[in-house]
Every structure is written in structure tokens, then in C-alpha cells.
Structure 1
């Protein structure tokens, strides 16, 4: 092979066998990426597709993620941004913000402060890793499952998804949302094939609605 000739790289494949099912992950050169204005949507689609591959509820169903972005005209630079957002946001036809007197069984989103959101997302990650690990022979019969390392693949995918969404609505990587509302976090119900979960993240001008179902 001369220096002028292109170098051929075979796909890298990892195969895991679990009972009567085999899962294969293949890493190969990616096709041409879309234009810059669709880059975040492209990354989100790739990330959620991979996450679904690891989060199988049963033989036929997998956890799915749907991310919808929107805008709002509410000034959140006020003493009570939650009250301002509730008053000025048009809302979502399927998911409304919880009001006093609403029940936990209603399809409404409950407000989360910064600490509660962080705790819920941390537990979401742990629950997703537990489901993914249960599908592999490596962990299925191991009673000494270690703590989640920072480079765990499912953890990386979940964090990358969140970072991409937050960057889209805040305009800067690592910036937390101004407000957050959720239903059925940290994902126990959806990971067991029962109810769906939903998370609404609010930036200064943009919103992201993340619907997770099985």
C-alpha cells in the first residue's frame, strides 16, 4: 500500500450473548453529517437510538426517547420565575404544569428545584445502567456489581444526551436550566414497562420536552 492509497478500516464489533439473544455493537465510519443547523438533532437521534438498544424492556419492546424543542416569550429574570413561566407559557397539550390540588396520577409535570433535578437525573442514570447490565452475562450472575464508573457506556450516552439538550436550550455547554418540571422520574415506571416519563427543561428563551416511553 502506498501513501497515496486510502487506508481501509474494518468495522469494530463487540458481541454479547445472553441466553438465546445476541447483541452486536458495530463501530464503523459514519456517513456524512447534516448541516450545522441540524447537528444537535442528529446527535440526539444517534444517542437515543443507541440508548434504546441497551434499554430493552422485554423481547419486543425497548425504551424510546422523543425530544421536542420549543420557544417561549416569558421573562424569567424576575423574583419568581416559576410563577412567571406558569402564567406566560402556552403549555403542551398533553403535559401541563401541576397546580395545587393535582394528584400524582394526573398527567401533569411537577416542579423540581436544582437539587431535586440533579438527584433525579443521577438516579435515572443508575437505573438505566442497572437495566442495561441485567441484559448481559457479565453482570447477570454477579452479586458484586461495582459502582458506576465515569466511562460506563450507558452513563456516557445519557450524559451526552442531557448535555446536548441543555446546550441547545441555554446556548452554552454545562449551563443548567432555569426551570425544570417532570413526571415519573427517576424512570422506574418506564424501565419496567409501565407508565411513561416526561421532563421539561426551560432556558431563558427555549424549552425542551423529553418524553420517555416503553
Structure 2
């Protein structure tokens, strides 16, 4: 007797958008990081923008945690806020590059115009994509950027997201909207990596 395996919405979102993950891995920034010849100033600029992302998303999570919502979503927002805040204290303001400005603007639009569960969806691509990318990068411990790989490859986003998304993304309409938002944020991640080290211009 055969049984139909029902995939978790958490997994479906990833599977439907893994093509963006593959494209992200091909970006010069990550490829040069993998080979160890990424210029230090390019990495520094990336990290400054990444810190700015952390600060701004922490601020949005704080705002979300003060809104009315179902209790498990509220607890998720508070937990994510506390987790982000540990790394976002005492960081000066940074002017975002255009790719990061759009990324943060999309977050704020989702926060202000969509249901709280969809803001949770918007948070997932960063955590899941970076864990996947870190695992794909073939770096030795002698690589100067091995610490980025190490810092990102051992996350457990499923612990925070899987049950929440499966419980609340319970209609076709919500799942479709979640997929659009997930892909948008995956694309924002790819755009950030691309902008962090643009490919050289094609010689004519």
C-alpha cells in the first residue's frame, strides 16, 4: 500500500525557490570568498551592510512584537527579536547600498501591509539561504573567510519556522502569497551578494 508524503510548507517554499539559491552561489563575491582571494575591503563593505541589515530588521521585529497577533506568532517575533538584538546593540547607522535599501524597504512593506505570519516568511530566506550557501562553499580552515562559513553553516531555522509556517499557512491563497514573498526575499539576498562584488564589465 502506497502512502502520499505531504511535504511541509517550510520545505515547499525552499524547493520552489532553490533556483535562486543556485544563482546566489554563482555570484563573484561568494566564488572569490571560496577561493580565498576576495579583497578585504570588499568583505568589509559587505559586513557593514550586513550589520545594517541586522540593525534594521531588529528594529522591525521590536515593532512587530508590540502588535496584536496570535500568541505563537507573537512568541516567534519576541524570540527572533531577542536573538537578533544580541548582535545589533551599539551599532552606528550605515547608509545602505541600493540593493540593501530595497531589501529593507520590502521588509517594511510586508510588515505594514501583510499578516504577521508573512513577515515571519520574509525572515526565513536569509537564515535558510545563508546556511545552505555556507555548506556549499568549499573552504579550508586556512581560508581567511572560513569564519563566515563557520558562522552560518550550523543554524537550525527549522526549529523556529517549520511548525509556525505549517500551522498558519493553511490555505492555498496564503501559501501562494508566502511563496511570492519567500522568492522576493531570496532574490533580495542574491541581489545583495551580486552588488557586494559586481562582475567585471564585458569587454567589447
- Structure 1 length as normaliser, TM-score? 0.28
Larger Rg: 1
| Structure ranking higher in helix proportion | 2
| Structure ranking higher in strand proportion | 1
Q: Which has the higher contact order (CA 8 A, sep 6+)?
A: 2
- Structure 2 length as normaliser, TM-score? 0.29
